[in-house]
Every structure is written in structure tokens, then in C-alpha cells.
Amino acid sequence: MSQAVDFKYIRNLSSEKPKTKAALVRWLWPDIKRALEMGHTVREVREVLRKDGININYSNLRYYVAQLKHTSEFSRKDSSRSRSRESQAVIHLESARPADSLRVQRSKKIKFDHDPFSANKNNLI
């Protein structure tokens, strides 16, 4: 008889406050990001975090914010870049013609017949 597995500990862990300040900033990143997008400064965010009981150094908060911005922008650019590549591939496949065989390609080449040692100089042009 199989028992139902309940992952209550890991589920509870995600709702608990992280122990490190870097993890706290990462945990609160959606709210911090929204405040920064609304025009608030990192200094204002730091003051509000202090009121909430999170005393964090200003330069550390700036560093964490910069790192989180970089990773979120990088992932957004990376996903948009992959979507762009996919759309370009689709366009390329739609416009591609079947490749000619090597023999057909060679027969289409313009051939230039010129004998540099020919005595007849009238046939040059």
C-alpha cells in the first residue's frame, strides 16, 4: 500500500522569511522592483525596509538591486532573443527554395572562355 506524500516542510519553507539580507531582498524583489519603477529611490526603499525591521546597508542594497535588475533584464533579453531567432528561422524556412544540386549549380555558372595566348586579338571585346 502506498502512502500519500505531503511536502509540507518545503511548502512552509517558501513562506518563511529568509535569514540573509541578500535572500530577503531577492524574496521582496517584486515589491522593490515595483517601487523603483514607480519612481522611488533605493534610499526610500531602504528606509521603508528599515521600518519593516530589515536594517540593510545602503551600498549593499544598491548592489543587490543592481544584480537583480541585471539578471531580470538578462533573462528578458535572452527570452526575447530566442523568440526573435525562432521567428527568423520560420521566415527563413518559408522563403527558402529547395537547394539545387551541385551539378545544376555548376551548369548555371557563367563561363569565361579566354585564351591569353591567342593570336586573334579582335575577339577580346
Going residue by residue through the chain, which has 125 residues, state the pLDDT in tens, using 9 for 90 and above.
Answer: 566 778 888 888 888 888 899 999 999 999 999 999 999 999 999 999 999 999 999 999 999 999 999 987 766 665 666 666 666 655 555 455 555 677 777 677 666 666 667 666 665 55
Region at 53 (left for phi over 0; alpha for psi -120 to 50; beta for the rest):
left
Q: According to the model, what pLDDT value does residue 111 have?
A: 65
CA distances for 110 relative to 58, 104, 107, angstroms: 71, 12, 8
**64 within 8 A of 26, measured Cβ to Cβ:** yes
Note the pTM of the prediction, 2 decimals: 0.53
Contacts of 25 (CB under 8 A, 6+ apart): 32, 56, 61, 64, 65, 68
